[in-house]
Structure 1
């Protein structure tokens, strides 16, 4: 089985409310766990950050559906690549700002980007830092 990972950021549509985001986070976490997808979905200050990992065909189809979802816009793909091993042990979806005000102290998500090249690591670090500033 060919393993694949896609990471992106996007902006929530202006009409989406916090209760809608809660629903998206809950549904996404359950669906991805049920389909053996690992990764993370973070939401903060009207933005989304997601990494999805799994079987290539499933990840590609899932991302195509994500890209068509009207609940967000300005989707920017950070990486789209084959992986040898998953970096995540499971799947989690959360409001980052609700859980912590200090990314480096409370959340170890930065550990997951060590497999990226240094330029991509810096990009992801800056995006995640912006989520909690």
Structure 2
């Protein structure tokens, strides 16, 4: 079975409220765990950052659905590649609000950088820091 990883950033639609984002994060975390998808989804200041990893066909179909979702726009794909092993051990979704930005658990996301393809590390590091700083 081919394993695949896709990482992207996007901007939440302007009409989305915090409760809508909370619902997305909760649904996404449960659905992805039920389908053996690993990765993270972070939302901060109206932006989404997501890494999804799993069986190639499922990941490709999931990303196609994500790309069509009207709840966000300006989707920028950072990488889309075959992987030998997953980087993440599970799936986590977090809303990084002003109250949670300084929690030390969020810094753990930066530890995953060493497993990414070297050409992607700096780009992803800068994006993650914008979410957790």
TM-score normalised by L of structure 1: 0.92
In the alignment, the residues of structure 2 paired with residue 117 and residue 2 of structure 1 have an alpha-carbon distance, to the nearest angstrom, of 17
**Which residue pairs with 2:55 in the alignment?**
55
Instruction: State the 4+ residue runs in structure 1 displaced beyond 6 angstroms.
Output: none
More divergent stretch after superposition (33-42 vs 93-102):
93-102
**Which residue pairs with 1:68 in the alignment?**
68
- How far off its partner does 1:50 sit? 0.3
Describe how 1:1-133 pairs up with structure 2 within 5 A. 1-97=1-97, 98-101=99-102, 105-106=104-105, 107-133=107-133
CA contact (8 A) 2:87 2:116 kept: no
In the alignment, the residues of structure 2 paired with residue 83 and residue 52 of structure 1 have an alpha-carbon distance, to the nearest angstrom, of 11
User: For each residue in 1:29-49, what CA deviation from the matched residue of structure 2 results, as whole angstroms up to 9, or x when unmatched?
Assistant: 000000010000000000000
- State the superposition RMSD in angstroms: 1.4
In the alignment, the residues of structure 2 paired with residue 39 and residue 116 of structure 1 have an alpha-carbon distance, to the nearest angstrom, of 12
In the alignment, the residues of structure 1 paired with residue 127 and residue 93 of structure 2 have an alpha-carbon distance, to the nearest angstrom, of 17
In the alignment, the residues of structure 2 paired with residue 11 and residue 37 of structure 1 have an alpha-carbon distance, to the nearest angstrom, of 22
Query: Unaligned 5+ residue runs, structure 2?
Result: none
In the alignment, the residues of structure 2 paired with residue 37 and residue 29 of structure 1 have an alpha-carbon distance, to the nearest angstrom, of 9
In the alignment, the residues of structure 2 paired with residue 22 and residue 72 of structure 1 have an alpha-carbon distance, to the nearest angstrom, of 14
Q: Secondary structure at the match of 2:115?
A: coil
In the alignment, the residues of structure 2 paired with residue 32 and residue 116 of structure 1 have an alpha-carbon distance, to the nearest angstrom, of 20
* Number of aligned positions between the proteins: 131
TM-score normalised by L of structure 2: 0.92
- How far off its partner does 1:116 sit? 2.6
Query: Unaligned 5+ residue runs, structure 1?
Result: none
In the alignment, the residues of structure 2 paired with residue 3 and residue 53 of structure 1 have an alpha-carbon distance, to the nearest angstrom, of 7
